[in-house]
Structure 1
Amino acid sequence: MAKLHMVVDLKCHILLKDVTSFCDKYDIEMINMEDEYVDPKNRIRKTNITNRHHFVVNNFNTVLDMQIQELGNRFTEVTTNLLTCMSSLSPRDNFSSFNKLNLLKLAEMYPYNFTFDEKDKLIDELGHYISNMKRDSRFDNLNGVSDLAKRIVETRKHIEYQLVYRLIKLSLVLPVATASVGRRFSSMKLVKTELRNRMGDGYMNDSCICYIEKEFLQQVSVESVMQCFQKMKTRRQQF
């Protein structure tokens, strides 16, 4: 908890510093943060708090709590643990986020991608991997896991650290798969409405595909669709 307060105080200090710099640059008058805060709804009543206390506690912390609550509502505990484990692969700040236990937990979340023997081998491979990465200057100043994946392939280290590279690939694929699933669930609400609640699974699946891949379908001409239907087997008697 103390570490969390330190992070919040640091972020708030950086924000106030940026605001002060912006006001100085464009000659905008800024209030003294150490003066007593005046409530605009009742300027007579004393608040007994400073402007800094008001903007940090009543504004900054309140917005931060709302964002944390929103993230908690959107992400389950399993998803949060998964993202925490994935963050241990980040190469930023000379792999400062590296955590062997989290990466082993990440491998446990993919039982079909790692055999029992591979999980044991991963323990030793992670130790050699992080030691090698920190000594290799070619892996300095990388921004994310995607940059790490490219550099590992360029340096041919994906052959030496095959299990770690497999974790990296799974981490890169997961956001795409999660976004695709989210888009499909959102499209279902738009396609299967109250007026079309008796829609069958097959027709709903076809309709969702058309809605999700609408950018691709826009490239398909009407003539090609008509030709496709004309070439289909005739199921009704023609007159």
Structure 2
Amino acid sequence: MRPYTFVFYLHLMKHILGVTNTLCEALQRKDQDILNAVKLVKTTKEELQTYQLEGFDSLLIDVTSFCEKYDIEMVNMEAVYVDPKNRRKKTGITNRQHYVVNNFKTVLDMQIQELGNRFNEVTTNLLIYMSSLSPCLNFGAFDKLNLLKLAEMYPCDFNFDEKDKLFYELGNYIANVKEDTRFDDLNGVSKLAKRMVETRKHIDFPLVYRLIKLSLVLPVATASVERSFSSMKHLKTELRNRMGDGFLNDAYICYIEREFLQQVSIEDVMQRFQKMKTRREQL
């Protein structure tokens, strides 16, 4: 842990993780605001790109200060770089060029490309269009043109006549739900879908309800689906790899919704099992 290269990478990753921390926390919240998440992705990429162009000298100052404090041998940036795997071969570059090109910019390029791959233009537009369905703040994010573009992305679900009809249905829909006080306390698309069924508005606005259902089947609003798949390694282990689908599903629900299940007392569980059938002994 004392080589200069380790200290250099340590400070570099500390800065990268600090820049991306806000975005990571935002993407993992269950009450995710899609539009704000998209803006966070954009600003995070811009911050990393700016740091890539202008941040090497400031990073070097932090690394030098750290090395002086803990008496770590520093590298002369103006000296000729020597490849540790082939010391006899001349590289023709200085240590500064090596750390800038092969270390600093390479790591930042990887981070920027990863964000670009995960949130490409199509995915970003999809998230923006979906955010127009949000009922938060009395449907403040509603945008008819964005929702029409969202329908264009599902050619198999909306034919030409339905797309034309959707334009007028969206206008009637937003005027109707804004005046209905039963839609005032909603804070998510899933709750909007439930409220539409409860009020039977899904019958009056079938095309809008279809858009809402298409948005719900895409696991892009939260990281809950990713967390669900990650939990498989905790439940379906080598010792429990033959459990049935029913039991596995029940176990997953208990594991994923453990925060909710903590509110259920042991006595209530025992009474539930006791009432399921007649038992010889009292639980």
Tell me the TM-score normalized by structure 1.
0.49
**Larger RCO (alpha carbons 8 Å, 6+ apart):** 2
TM-score (norm 2): 0.43
